[in-house]
């Protein structure tokens, strides 16, 4: 077979998690910045591809076809992604890593992901990349970001849970394959599901919302948004941090840790 069994790839992740926890801080941070960039590129390409598609279902499908390559690049390059690393609860439960090592990884990787995604957002907003369709890409990006900032807290948590149940499934399925094609396909399908459904991913939102916030400060984009009747009142850094990033991160943690506990209980070597 060209596949690992669930028990085998669960054990493989437990061993890999030990290496993740013991990684030098600078290397961990740089690999996290790289992952933040890859996920942000997934956001940039979906915004660019979907911004003129009026049919919502078609726009979601197009986005779902494109965004998952971001996670595939993370998996194949060994970059460090916070949402995927919530699975490190498995080596913690197996006592291969300490709680301190787990939290150290999560904290450093989250900051690195944020740096990579926000820098990419700034590059897109201030380089003219949003000028497509006479600046309508910028308007689309601001409208999308404002909608995310206006989402009720509880909704954001639940959508975050669903998202990371699928992302961590994608990580595990990628580990089930022994070749590049299998790893990409394994990562691809669950992430396509979450994008099409509109679930919430904290690292992706570290691109989607800052790119809108940065675009809002560009006078020509702000004028276009006003002319299109787009309400940007909810698009603030405070709403981003407290009404979206916080609940989505909590939801992603619940979903990812929950999936990790489930796989550890069902497929860990010491489980019956």
Q: Which two tokens stand for residue 63?
A: 């986005």
pLDDT of 2 reads: 81
Contacts of 98 (CB under 8 A, 6+ apart): 21, 92
pLDDT of 271 reads: 55
* Average pLDDT in the chain: 96
- Compute the average pLDDT of residues 226-231: 96
pTM for the full predicted model: 0.96
Q: What is the pLDDT of residues 164-176, one digit of tens each?
A: 999 999 999 999 9
Q: What is the pLDDT of residues 139-182, one digit of tens each?
A: 999 999 999 999 999 999 999 999 999 999 999 999 999 999 99
**Rounded CA separation 124/213 (Å):** 12
Residue 8 has pLDDT above 80, yes or no: yes
Confidence of residue 104 (pLDDT cuts 50, 70, 90): very high
pLDDT of 272 reads: 43
Q: Among residues 107, 97, 82, which one has the least CA distance to residue 15?
A: 97
Residue 269 has pLDDT above 80, yes or no: no
- Compute the average pLDDT of residues 250-257: 98
**Rounded CA separation 34/243 (Å):** 26
Q: Among residues 197, 198, 169, 5, which one has the least CA distance to residue 75?
A: 169
CA geometry: angle at 260 spanning 255 and 261, to 5°? 100
**Rounded CA separation 196/179 (Å):** 26
Q: What is the pLDDT of residues 117-133, one digit of tens each?
A: 999 999 999 999 999 99
Confidence of residue 256 (pLDDT cuts 50, 70, 90): very high
């Amino acid at each position: 077979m060209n596949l690992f069994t669930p028990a085998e790839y669960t054990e493989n992740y437990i061993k890999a998690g030990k290496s993740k926890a013991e990684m030098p801080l600078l290397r961990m941070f740089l690999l996290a910045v790289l992952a933040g960039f890859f996920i942000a590129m997934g956001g940039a390409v979906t915004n660019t591809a979907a911004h003129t598609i009026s049919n919502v279902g078609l726009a979601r499908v197009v986005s779902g076809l494109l965004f998952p390559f971001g996670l595939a690049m993370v998996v194949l390059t060994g970059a460090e992604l916070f949402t995927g690393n919530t699975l490190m609860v498995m080596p913690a439960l197996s006592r291969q890593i300490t709680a301190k090592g787990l939290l150290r990884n999560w904290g450093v990787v989250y900051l690195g992901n944020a740096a990579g995604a926000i820098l990419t957002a700034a590059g897109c907003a201030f380089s003219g990349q949003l000028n497509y369709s006479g600046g309508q890409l910028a308007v689309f990006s601001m409208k999308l970001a404002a909608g995310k900032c206006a989402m009720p807290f509880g909704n954001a948590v639940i959508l975050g849970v669903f998202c990371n149940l699928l992302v961590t499934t994608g990580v595990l399925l990628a580990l089930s394959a022994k070749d590049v094609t299998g790893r990409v396909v394994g990562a691809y399908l669950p992430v396509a599901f979450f994008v099409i459904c509109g679930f919430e991913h904290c690292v992706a939102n570290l691109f989607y919302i800052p790119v809108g916030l940065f675009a809002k400060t560009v006078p020509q984009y702000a004028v276009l948004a006003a002319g299109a009747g787009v309400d940007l009142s909810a698009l603030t850094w405070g709403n981003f941090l407290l009404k979206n990033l916080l609940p989505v991160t909590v939801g992603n943690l619940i979903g990812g840790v929950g999936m990790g506990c489930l796989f550890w209980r069902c497929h860990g070597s010491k489980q019956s």
